[in-house]
Structure 1
């Protein structure tokens, strides 16, 4: 039996392209080229039946190391806390005030993109993080 080496993270959301473009900015990901035969993603989207237009979007790590992120439109809105969330690793190896400064700097970069800061969990060591929400209210951490 072989082990799985790659995986995709899927987000349920109301506006797939909007959420995907937010995460592209957060992670330095890119939107892949449109399918063969289409000059743009808008051209591809217009070729779909009306009920499928805007129903999904994706982005990927340009280095090919990180997982592909897939965003799919669902009819229901977010109601409760996520059971799974992304942790954006910006303070790895940093401690105390140096770590806190790195977390705060990343938080400041993400706020104009539409992120919302919820709370700082600060222990003075290497487990501190800032809990945030993306543009549709999905929780994530900067750690």
Structure 2
């Protein structure tokens, strides 16, 4: 049996283009435009290096009603510990808040786990920066 080589992450949302453009800013992705007749129903973005997964945003009629069962971890502090890690996370948090994200809380290192910051994107989807 062969291993899966590629996958995409799909978001149900109210405003596909707006949410896609937010995530492009977060991740440094690019967003080619869908055909004009489909711009209101979906939008996608991809890693320009071709390494990361494609993100696909599809319009759905219902709003978000519960906590995500899956969320993205945006890995900005990999390899960092202590105050250096926390400063890096806090700087990224400030950048993302300026883009419209919501800072939920800061979880500080506790001897077992390193610091991370849970956040919400512009449509209320949970994600973490760690």
TM-score scaled by structure 1? Answer: 0.86
Partner of 2:20: 20
Which of 68, 76, 91 is equivalent to 1:82?
Answer: 68
Tell me which moved more, 72-81 or 118-127.
118-127
What's the offset of the Cα at 1:112? 1.1
TM-score scaled by structure 2? Answer: 0.94
Give the conservation status (yes or no) of the 8 Å contact 2:17–2:39: no
- Deviations, residues 18-72 of structure 1 (Å, cap 9, x unaligned): 000000000000013x4xxxxxx5xx32xx2xxx550000000000000000000
Give the conservation status (yes or no) of the 8 Å contact 1:91–1:99: yes
Tell me which moved more, 123-132 or 87-96.
123-132
What's the offset of the Cα at 1:124? 4.8
Aligned-partner Cα distance in 2 for 1:19–1:124? 33
RMSD between superposed Cα atoms in Å: 1.3
**Bigger Rg, structure 1 or 2:** 1
5+ residue gaps in structure 2?
none
